[in-house]
Amino acid sequence: MKWIRRLGETLGIGRQVAPATTAPMPSDIQKTVMEFSVMDRTRPMSFERPSLAADHVSRVERERFKLRLAGSSPERRRSATVLVEKMYGWRGYKLSGDATLARKEGALTITGLVYGNDGLPVGTATLRFDGPGGLLADELYPAELDRLRREGRRLVEYSRLAIDRGFVDSRKVVAALMNVFYTCAKAEGFTDAIIEVNPRHVDYYVSRANFVCIGEERHCPRVNAPAVLLRLDYEVAARQIELYGGRKNDPAAGRSLYRYFLVGDDQEALSGRLLPGEAPPQQRAGRP
């Protein structure tokens, strides 16, 4: 069974419904997928593992953040929605219309939540896989997305990104969510990520994450605000991760979000944590 489809069935995401015989959700998935700290300036973002826990000292305890998947938990999904509504409302946006579309025709979606040490969410985003129901951006940019599909590109979409404005180091939250989404999408052979952003955020995604603009500014009725369509070629992302991954303190990495991405054993651990017991296809292929 395909890796991401199995992940969807295990977590109960999108409209996938696990059969009655499916094993319970692994406890690691129920808990933490990734852990990182804003105070620790030397240790790369990593996971809750005994070796790391033993090395970690109490000075960073208050600034430790955990990324979890909402899965089928109504409480976590509601927490994500509340945070999005709060931050969108602060910007003067509305939030309507996408919840129904995101679930229609068996759409597979993954929602990530980043929690602070107080147990409250400080960041969230949703990954949507292209399928019969299409993507949210098809509402405004059908021609642009259909052109990519005709070229054989397989698309995922980042949406509902919201970071609490009281959280000062949003870079690591965004990078952590992107790292998890990239891992899930790349493992299943998806080639590109697209995102609709407010025009004032275009430079951030272009300069820090190597997105390119493929759709002109249009009015998005779902949030009652202007939007621009951006695309990230995952081959470009892979090269950036190879260059800058795990080098968050290296001046040569500049402002790239990829310097916060996991590499090597840590990245392999992330893949294992997302789907315990089965490595992603691209990792299995290179092993004897």
Mean pLDDT computed over 4-8: 54
Would you call 164 helix, strand, or coil by DSSP? coil
What is the CATH topology of the domain spanning 3-284?
A: Aminopeptidase (3.40.630)
The three-class DSSP label of residue 203 is: helix
pLDDT band at 97 (very low <50, low <70, confident <90, very high): low
pLDDT tens string 102-161: 444 557 899 999 998 888 888 899 999 999 889 999 999 999 999 999 999 999 999 999
Residue 193: Cβ-neighbour burial (10 angstroms; 0-12, 13-18, 19+): buried
The model's pTM is 0.78
Per the prediction, the chain carries an average pLDDT of 77
Cα distance between residue 251 and residue 201, in whole Å: 23
